[in-house]
Amino acid sequence: MGGVTGFLLRRLASTALVVAGVVVTVFLLIHLIPGDPVDVMLGETASAADRGALRTALGLDRPLPEQLGHYLRGLAHLDLGRSLYDHRPIAAVLAERIPATAELAGAGLVVTLVIAFPLGLLAAARAGGGWDRGAMTFSLLGVSIPNFWMGPMLILVFSLWLGWLPVSGRSGPASVVLPALTLGTALAAILSRMLRSSVLEVLGEDYIRTARAKGLSTRQILVRHALPNALLPVITVLGLQLGTLLAGAVITETVFSWPGVGLLTIESIQHRDYPVVQACVLLISLTYVLVNTLTDIVYGLVDPRIRRGRPR
């Protein structure tokens, strides 16, 4: 138990350092990019006195280290501040947008699993054949095609030409189909390749040959024997890639006008709304770190060699 506790403490300590680095980096990057929120809020015709008064009221005239200290004190009290654009609490703004992003990420994950597992298993079962080549071609295309191209193509085909699905917005179950396909296809391509490789490696084991000698069908061998033993590296890759669902959601939500955190990030950048941009980027970053940490912990608990620091 001591080994497990030490492993957990090491992972949590490294996560805390990463989180601290992310917080400071996000703050500095946001404040060092070109653009002035005061100009956006008042316009270029505002007087110097008005601009100076607003800058003082927002605390933007303070030295950067002082602003950072104020920001960190607010985070310590779970206070993200207020939006410079509409003066609402940022926590309330995020609370409105997080459910949409969670819905899109969940739908994208479902698309990933529905596509990746059958494709990866078929490619492994018929390695070197037509199914294998087709699956690997799909995988290559899925990894290569960016979301900002695939999204408009799906809109063009399924919304404008066929008229089956809404073009954009979040107006019902049908509206999530195209964004989820756009978001989940790239991850499905990566996962199907990993699943194929992992299953092919397992199919060479002695117990698989024993199962074949007993007369089990290919389907039984794949589902009952090969897949459970091939899942560990697949789960690891899936966990590590889950964070990309949020990162990719920034582009996908913009293409489909999906009212989530990703679209809020783009809108806040356009308004030079520093506090909201910081909160959005920080939320995405921390979610990515949290998912990776949980995956690392689960993997270490399942495989004792990982928590002992031994190579596999």
- Structure confidence at residue 311 (pLDDT): 46
Q: Is 312's pLDDT higher than 80?
A: no
């019902």: which residue's tokens? Answer: 172
Contacts 24+ apart (CB under 8 A), 65-70: 67/27, 67/31, 68/24, 68/27, 68/28
Helix, strand or coil for residue 224? helix
**Range in 3-7, 238-242, 264-268 with the lowest mean pLDDT:** 3-7
Q: Model confidence over 277-286: pLDDT tens digits?
A: 888 888 888 8
CA distance 135 to 217: 22
**Range in 186-190, 253-257, 299-303 with the lowest mean pLDDT:** 299-303
Domain count for the chain? 1
Confidence label for 2 from pLDDT (cuts 50, 70 and 90):
low
Q: Model confidence over 128-177: pLDDT tens digits?
A: 777 778 888 888 888 788 888 888 999 999 988 988 888 888 888 888 99
User: What is the percentage of the chain residues whose pLDDT exceeds 70?
Assistant: 86
In a domain, 193, yes or no: yes
- Structure confidence at residue 302 (pLDDT): 61
Confidence label for 44 from pLDDT (cuts 50, 70 and 90):
low
- Structure confidence at residue 138 (pLDDT): 81
Cβ contact 257:97 at 8 Å: no
The token pair that represents 150 in the structure block: 């695939």
In a domain, 178, yes or no: yes
Q: What is the mean pLDDT of residues 226-241?
A: 76
Confidence label for 248 from pLDDT (cuts 50, 70 and 90):
low
- Structure confidence at residue 153 (pLDDT): 92
Cβ contact 258:170 at 8 Å: yes
The token pair that represents 32 in the structure block: 């060092």
Range of the domain at 200: 97-267
Task: Assign residue 241 the CATH number of its domain.
Answer: 1.10.3720.10
Rounded to two decimals, the pTM is: 0.78
Helix, strand or coil for residue 83? coil
In a domain, 81, yes or no: no
Diameter of the chain by CA atoms? Answer: 87
Q: What is the CA radius of gyration of the chain?
A: 24
- Structure confidence at residue 179 (pLDDT): 92
Q: What is the mean pLDDT of residues 198-209?
A: 79
Residue 282's nearest CA partner among 18, 20, 16, 26 is: 26
- Please report the sign of the dihedral spanned by the C-alpha atoms of residue 254, residue 256, residue 259, residue 261: negative
CA distance 181 to 291: 22
Cβ contact 261:101 at 8 Å: yes
In a domain, 115, yes or no: yes
Cβ contact 111:186 at 8 Å: no
Q: What is the mean pLDDT of residues 182-199?
A: 85
Q: Model confidence over 81-128: pLDDT tens digits?
A: 888 778 888 889 999 998 998 888 889 889 988 988 888 888 887 777
- Structure confidence at residue 36 (pLDDT): 65
In a domain, 116, yes or no: yes
Q: Is 269's pLDDT higher than 60?
A: yes
In a domain, 83, yes or no: no
Using CA atoms in the order 253, 256, 260, 265, what is the torsion angle rounded to 10 degrees?
50
In a domain, 177, yes or no: yes
Q: What is the mean pLDDT of residues 232-251?
A: 74
CA distance 217 to 194: 23
In a domain, 302, yes or no: no
Tell me what the pLDDT averaged over the chain comes to.
80
Helix, strand or coil for residue 34? coil
Residue 54's nearest CA partner among 41, 69, 66, 72 is: 41
